[in-house]
Amino acid sequence: MGMDILTLGVGLISFIGFLLVHLITFRWLRPEQLLRSLVMIMIAVAGLPLILMGALFMCRCADASLTTWVCSTVLAILIEGLMCLVYVLCIFGPYETSVRMRLIREIARGSSAGISMEELLARYNHETIVNVRLRRLVGSGDIIEKDGFYHSGHKKNFFFIFMAIAQVIKKWIDR
Amino acid sequence: MLYIIIAGLLFITSVTTHILFCRKATRPGLQAKAFIFIALIALAVYALETTMMASVLDGRSLWSLPFKFTAGFIFVLLVPVYLSFYVLTQLTSPSQKILSTVAFLGSASYADIAASVKEEDFIMTRLNDLCASGCVQLIKGQYSLSASGRKIAWILRMMQIVLGRDIGG
């Protein structure tokens, strides 16, 4: 029970650490710096459970075997990683990139009588969608711009990995 | 470790059940609520199993390391992760569209990318989804937010204050 709660606590505290770093530093980031910074912070903060568990082990906070401590550290890293992933996929990602969320914001900024399609498209259109994403993808190195043409950067980027997993699920569903 | 294995097996069972449910489902669209329901049942099974078998499972060997709550929490965290991938099976994001266009053409101009994004018509499809879900209403050619849409807009405004970032999208 003690090690169980300790593992959860360390995972949670590490995630709070990630959240603090993220909330403080991401205010000043431009869209092109987002993806790379996010990956860098997630990798850097993954070491936090290791440090915390190491410190707790030194303090002999719980009476447990070395195997339990090692497993506990691995699980704390897993919990912290999963919490970061859930935050990025379900909270930060949709806020930053969702077309639906942006449409809601634009409609909310309109008058109480509503907003026409023309007004909406004047504020947010396909050109905006392309420009913001190209900046982001070029900044992360997923796309390389050369002489006005765009080429694939990383062959195995997060988008392709995510799409590959989604394709497997889709294949199973459609079978 | 047994707790982790039980939680892992229950998660795999939940995903398999959901996939089978999606195959049989007659109603079009996302079946996300069905997965949440299946996952809740699986979590209840996990809670019941770990409570009833605590005397057998708890111990000091590698197999019986006491990670009851940790395993349950990992299961809970895997639910939104799976749902994010599941949503991707039904929707294409603009970034994915751009990346696949560039990968398909090898070398793409801005016009090529803009045309591919326009072809997908992300704005109209998303706007229709919002109208269908009741967040947005179209009255006499004017789009306005419903009560639920206004709640989402308020949450997004709060998020903007907390995150300190631009409007997004």
CB contact under 8 A, A137 and B98: yes
Interface mutation vs chain A, best among B20, B84, B100, B129, most A CBs within 10 Å = B84
Q: How far is A47 from chain B (nearest CA, A)?
A: 19
- Choose the weakest-confidence range: A78-82, A158-162, B138-142, B156-160: A158-162
Interface mutation vs chain B, best among A72, A126, A140, A147, most B CBs within 10 Å = A126
Give the residue extent of every domain in chain B.
Answer: 2-90, 104-163
Query: Which tens digits make up the pLDDT trace of B68-94?
Result: 899 999 999 999 999 998 988 888 889
Give the residue extent of every domain in chain A.
Answer: 2-97, 104-174
Predicted TM-score (pTM) of the model is: 0.86
Residue A165: closest C-alpha in chain B? B85
CB contact under 8 A, A132 and B80: no
Whether the CA torsion A25, A26, A27, A33 is positive or negative: it is positive
The DSSP element (H or E) to which B148 belongs, if any, is: helix B147-163
The tally of CA atoms less than 13 A away on the side-chain side of residue B10 is: 27
Query: Which residues in chain B are closer than 8 Å to A100, comparing Cβ atoms?
Result: 126, 129-130
Q: Is the ipTM, as predicted for this complex, more than 0.95? A: no
CB contact under 8 A, B89 and A120: no
**Residue A67: pLDDT band by 50, 70, 90 thresholds?**
confident
Mean pLDDT in residue range A140-160: 83
